[in-house]
Amino acid sequence: MASTYSFDVTTGCDLQEVDNAVNQAQKEVAQRFDFKGSQVLIEFKRTDNLIKLEAEGEMRHTALVDVLRGKLVKRGVSVKNLEFTDPKPGSHEILRSEVKLKMALDAETAKKVTAAIKEAKLKKITASIQGEQVRVSSPDKDMLQECIALLRQGEFGVELQYGNFR
């Protein structure tokens, strides 16, 4: 039996589900009447964790973002892990924007998570930042369950995932 138990706090998106949502959004946009005859582009760059959006006019661009957001939510991708950029104008009234996928905890979010754990003053729990994740350890499994419940109640700007239970 282990003397200490631990779990890791991370974040990320299932890239296959993002790919499926982008494909569904492309199909819907191709069939919708309000997009007929206009230039619309949804492109998923898997290696860069980036979705590029292009549409003619502000109204169509807003509708495109709404379609994509809806498809991502239906596929179980958290909107908290998406970072939408402001649309930038291009030629012929085309607006371009990007959606960045948050695949790892940044240093600031990791510090917020460790600070929340320390402020709760849970006994015998230690939290340490290890690269792009936070390792939480304790000799008591029940305290780790309390810690997970505490983190689920908090707001950190991303959807937290818990794994690597030992």
CATH assignment at residue 23: 3.30.70.990
Length of the chain: 166
Within this chain, do residues 95 and 147 fall inside the same structural domain, yes or no? no
Within this chain, do residues 113 and 90 fall inside the same structural domain, yes or no? no
Q: Which domain holds residue 90?
A: 15-101
Picking from 78, 101, 124, the residue at the C-terminal end of a domain is: 101
Within this chain, do residues 20 and 85 fall inside the same structural domain, yes or no? yes
Number of domains in the chain: 2
**Six token digits for residue 144:** 């780790």
Q: In one letter, which amino acid is 91? A: S
Rounded Cα distance between 60 and 65, Å, is: 9
Within this chain, do residues 25 and 72 fall inside the same structural domain, yes or no? yes
Within this chain, do residues 35 and 94 fall inside the same structural domain, yes or no? yes
pLDDT digits (tens), the chain, 166 positions: 457 888 888 888 888 999 999 999 999 998 988 888 888 889 999 889 899 999 988 898 999 999 999 999 999 888 888 888 898 888 888 899 999 998 888 888 888 888 888 887 877 888 888 888 888 888 888 888 888 888 888 888 878 878 777 7
Within this chain, do residues 87 and 59 fall inside the same structural domain, yes or no? yes
Nearest alpha-carbon partner for 109 in 143, 145, 80, 68? 80
